[in-house]
Structure 1
Amino acid sequence: MTRVVYPGSFDPVTHGHLDIIRRIGALYDQVVVSVMVNINKKYRFTAEERVDMLREVTADLDNVRVESSDGLLVDYCRREKFTVVVRGLRTIRDFEGELQMAQMNYGLAGVETVFMMTSEQLNFSSTLVKEVMDLGGDVSHLIAPSVLNRMKAKTAP
């Protein structure tokens, strides 16, 4: 059985994330989506809320499991015996940062990284989705209805 981990902040989960998850699920036997906690980031949603959102929107995917982890990704990979990490790429700028992380993960723990390009029409970051919504823009085409409802509740005055 081929198991892979797809780590990220998912704050919030977008249709772009879901596209990657579905495509990974078609290639691998089991996909674990890991909501990572980075002490240097400020989140709109708690890790538990992000896990809940991901579980809601992936409920129809039998080979996808969602959980959370903090600390180094390689420590999580060692503990859970993952040898492959999947990362989504939107731009060349993403690649520059992701390449360094992939090389570090391989050097520290022999963990391989597989890059998957995002679909062109879903090429928007969670950060951009939050900014557009905060400024009154319509993001309903970029996130699931249940996620949109949670976003509205978090941004309501």
Structure 2
Amino acid sequence: MSKERIGVYPGTFDPITNGHLDIIQRASRLVDRLIVGVARNAGKGPLFSTDERVRMVEEDVAVLERNGSVIEVRPFDNLLMHFAVEMQAGVIIRGLRAVSDFEYEFQMAGMNARLNPKVETMFLMASEKHQFISSRFVKEIGRLGGDITHFVSPRVAKQLTERFAQEAGNGDHSKRVQTLKE
């Protein structure tokens, strides 16, 4: 009997984008069980709470083709390698959009290998139509009134629109001042 192949795909998912969903669907072909780890990561100042992000990921993942694998969504707030071991994962899956992503991810993979050489890191290149999508750009475009429907699911677009309306109603203009350079 072969051992179950378990992978972890970690991220902040603030919000989950079509690019994330593409990686999740493709990764599900490579493992028997894929755990989408939603990082609490309060240091990044997420727009949505951890519970909201977990719910958004669960809702978007629910409609994906499963390719015979199980996909779970779980929050985590510890070291990624500790989370991977806790989930009994043999592989951490990371998406790469461009060369600029590679240097950071290469360093991270090296550190993770030092922490636990039994857990591999696998990189999946973003599909051509998703290479430019990032949660940060989606939030900036949406906050400034641009059309984000090509970058996120209709559910996520609705939640972003509602959140930006709340911000505007509360007079929270500090977030609007962010630029694409940040």
TM-based fold match above 0.5: yes
Bigger shift: residues 69-78 or 15-24: 69-78
C-alpha separation in 1, matches of 2:37 and 2:59: 14
Q: State the shift of 1:29 in Å.
A: 1.1
1:135 Cα deviation after fit: 1.3
2:100 is matched with 93
RMSD: 1.1
Query: Residue 130 of structure 1 corresponds to which residue in structure 2?
Result: 139
Q: Give 2:38's match in structure 1, choosing from 30, 35, 39.
A: 35
Return the alpha-carbon distance in structure 2 between the equivalents of residues 27 and 134 of structure 1: 36
Query: AA paired with 1:20?
Result: I
Q: Which has the larger radius of gyration?
A: 2
Q: 2:120 aligns with which of 96, 112, 121?
A: 112
Q: Distance in 2 between matches of 1:67 and 1:35?
A: 6
Q: Partner of 2:43: helix, strand, or coil?
A: coil
Residues 92-138 of structure 1 show CA distances to partners (whole Å, capped at 9, x for unaligned) of 11010001111101101122100000011112100000011111110
1:10 partner amino acid: F
> Do structure 1's residue 66 and structure 2's residue 69 form an aligned pair?
no
Do the aligned residues in 2 keep the contact of 1:38 with 1:71 (CA within 8 Å)? no
Is residue 126 of structure 2 the alignment partner of residue 145 of structure 1? no
Q: How many residues align?
A: 157
Q: Secondary structure at the match of 1:12?
A: coil
TM-score in terms of structure 1 length: 0.96
Show structure 1 runs of 5+ residues with no match.
none
Shift of 1:60: 3.2
Q: With structure 2 as the length reference, what TM-score do the two structures score?
A: 0.83
